[in-house]
Amino acid sequence: MRSRSTSAAYLRQAGDLAGNPAQQAAYVSEGHCVVLAGPGSGKTKTLVLKLARMLAEDVRAPQGVACITYSQECARELRRRLERLGLRDAPNLYVGTVHGFCLRHILMPYARLAGLALPRPLTLATTRQADGTFKRVAEELLGLGQPYKTHDMGKYRRVHLDRDAPDWREDADLARLCEVYEAGLRRQGLIDFDDMVVCGNRLVGDHDWVLPAISARWPILAVDEYQDLGLPLHRIVMRLAFEGGVRLFAVGDADQSVYGFAGSDGELLLGLAEREDVETVRLELNYRSGARIIEASEYALGEVRGYRPHDTERLATIQFVERPGGLEAQAAYVVETLIPEALAAKEGRVLGDIAILYRAADVGDVFAEAIAAADMDYIRIDNAAPYKKGEVTSWIEDCAAWCSGGWRRGRPQLRGLISRWIGFRSGRPNEREANAARRALTIFLTQARRDGGLAAPFIAAIREILVDPLGRTEPSLADQMEQVRRMNEAVAAGGKLEGLELESLGGRDGSPSHVNLLTLHSSKGCEYDVVIMVGMDLGTMPWANEKEAELRESRRLFYVGLTRARDAVHLLYSGWVKTRFGVRTLGRSPFVEELEMRLLDADRIR
């Protein structure tokens, strides 16, 4: 049973939804519900309050609510919002990624009973192990010049789920590569990330007895960013919801489906929303962006969605900036002009309110170098980042935030850190083990509190005392432990983050004193006062010679970038790009060209 303070917290905030009929409809829904939520429409607030209500009113422990999402960063934000309501990860509340849910709540409890040919215990391959196995197998089967990459194989496995169907051999070489790669992993006693959802789908799809077992534990399933989940998870959800009796609450936006290369498909969300046994709610009021940005985003998307601003008086600007000197000239303009102007334009604005968005990590290299040379701090989230964000690395960052002053503010909450720490274990620990884990973490964090100091000693200590011993007993954390090692290397002498302060480690997700450098893909779910989109040239946005489906996805990615902004968007381009074949002068992005023309036409009409 929830405490009075928890109930009062969510009920107080739920009262705010009354002014928005669509949000209120989602909040009071009782059956299957799909929320189609435009950018800045308050979907996370709606989801979090709905989770709090369902947990307080619709289930009783040990039954619970599971909320799954595509990325670790989305899961992290949901946890933070829930903590503010007094809720946290608990035995009857799961908040995490799709892969984490499939591993811990489908495969681990039921794979052995179902007779799936998976290793025991379930041991997750590290990135290095998976890549090494793929390289070896691909060269053995197809030679040194083989044309496939790991993402080609991954998408094929996630899209072609029925291996008895004729289309499994649609690409005979790729199908064979998948089979031999998987066999190679199994010989090493390993599974990979795709195995989690592919095998989870196979287990749920082929074994009817699993449905009541899962629904008894998780009678309610909430899915955030549904458009990103792809076919295997969609089939799991459909089976659980419409054949297994699990109640579904799904939130998403098909216009922000930008992971087609990984097998995601926004049409799956739209199809779900059209079912007669599903209540569909559309959130169209934008609380984030000024009217000019909302207007520009619909022009960029190329379709009218009817989104409108909550604050009709809020000013916003779109600027088109040509810098013929290439990315280096764009970076110089950002550092010398745009960032100082953005900081001066609004009282209290800080570097953390500014984001620089780009298509590819090599573009980020140019801007990271320029910002560092200007003696500004930055946070970087892309493939060139020194370590990947995972459950354990994000937890260590949050522990650093608590130790560097967060304990005074109660953010993050100590009990939330403890719940996540205990949740890393594959089995449910008994009370004695759980108490020992709570005590060890509490003692460590209390002794590690400090004002100032470097991150390196903190990471070394938390690894030695807590994380590394757990990793040695939990095979499912193998890839997570690899990222922890990379984090350690990054802050050590000679690493990319040498000299990083403990407070900065705790703020590596939204620090107010750091400029944000992100790929457009990584920016999903984020919001900033000022967005600077760089490298907006044909050949990058979109790539040259994209096919129709790829071009539509690039347009959606452009739309995602625009809709991150509250007050201002700056679109920078040079008219040419560097390629491995030399410089190609292709002009600025056609998305930028079209957007400026449509805005000018609209201004003339007004």
Give the pairing type, strands 220-223 and 65-69.
Answer: parallel
Distance of CA 388 to the CA centre of its chain: 12
Question: Annotation-wise, does 266 bind a ligand?
Answer: no
Pairing mode, strands 317-322 and 247-252: unpaired
The C-alpha atoms of residue 382 and residue 12 are separated, in whole angstroms, by 38
Q: Is 52 annotated as ligand-binding?
A: no
Q: Any known ligand binding at 476?
A: no
Residue 50 counted as an annotated binding residue:
no
- At how many degrees (to 10) do helices 193-206 and 150-159 cross? 10
Instruction: Calculate Rg over the CA atoms of the chain.
Output: 24
* DSSP bridge pairs for 66: 94, 221
37 labeled binding residue: yes
As given in the structure block, the two tokens for residue 564 are 């991150």
> Phi and psi for 45 in degrees, rounded to 5?
-60, -45
Q: Residue 515: which residues within 8 A CB-CB, separation 6 or more?
A: 339, 351, 352, 354, 355, 356, 371, 376, 377, 378, 379
Residue 128 to residue 130: CA distance in whole angstroms: 6
CA 103 to chain centre: 18
Contact 572, 320 (CB under 8 A): no
Q: Is 44 annotated as a binding residue?
A: yes
Is 39 known as a binding-site position?
Answer: yes
For 87, 455, 481, the CA distances from 403, given in Å and listed in that order, are 21, 11, 22
Task: Give the separation between CA 262 and CA 231, rounded to whole angstroms.
Answer: 10
Q: Confirm if 496 and 387 have CB atoms less than 8 A apart.
A: no
| φ and ψ at residue 524, rounded to 5 degrees | -55, 135
User: Tell me, what DSSP letter sits at residue 581?
Assistant: T
Task: Tell me how crowded residue 514 is: count the other CB atoms within 10 A of its CB.
Answer: 20
Nearby residues of 337 by Cβ (< 8 Å), 6 or more positions away: none
Cβ–Cβ < 8 Å for 568, 530: yes
Phi, psi of 411 (to 5 degrees): -140, 115
HSE toward the beta carbon, residue 328, CA cutoff 13 A: 3
The answer to the question of whether 297 is labelled as a binding residue is: no
What angle do helix axes 230-242 and 210-217 make, rounded to 10 degrees?
A: 80
Handedness of CA 10, 352, 535, 76 (dihedral sign): negative
Task: Fill in the DSSP letter of residue 253.
Answer: -
The binding site comprises: 37-44
Query: Annotated binding site for ATP: which residue ranges?
Result: 37-44
